[in-house]
Structure 1
Amino acid sequence: PSNREEVKENLKAVQDFKNAILELKVPPRYRDLQLGLIIGFSHLEAELQNPKKMASLQEQRENISKAMGKFKQLEEEYSWLKGLGPKI
């Protein structure tokens, strides 16, 4: 896909994931984690919506990779997150 299409696809995946986290019924003791995930992916969403904030598509890819790496670690620790991550 073209750069513009890739950004658009990534933005949709991040938005879908953020919405899934918002709708998730989370055990009360994990509400802070849920909020942290929402905030983190909201920042990523803002970067994807405003390309001037990011130096390059490569930087966007790196930021998405870092976020997904952290999420994968959380999935291992918190079973209620399994299978929820965006397909990026």
Structure 2
Amino acid sequence: MTTAQPIPPSHADLEARFAAILSGSQSRDEVDRWATRTMLDLEGVEVDEAAWWALGILAGIDLHHGPDEPYLHDDAQVRGWLSEFRERCGIIG
């Protein structure tokens, strides 16, 4: 019995994860867990560079400077990453 290979997330889904963090509709912890699990599931699967880059950023988006400290990367940096992701994908916006 063969199992189907996992399908990488679409650029739209990845863009939506960045936006969800910024809007507060998903927590950084939720997005981090999703991205980390997705990267593990995609091991050995061909994933385009922009999608893999975004997953790498999102897996770790919940890091803090230290216990009871603010996030290592603030919302301005997340917005910058979203812009960079759009550029990498050729999305104007």
Which of these two proteins has the greater Rg computed from alpha carbons?
A: 2
* Alignment TM-score, normalising by the size of structure 2: 0.39
Structure showing greater relative contact order (alpha-carbon pairs closer than 8 Å, 6 or more residues apart): 1
* Alignment TM-score, normalising by the size of structure 1: 0.40
Task: Choose between structure 1 and 2: higher helix proportion.
Answer: 1
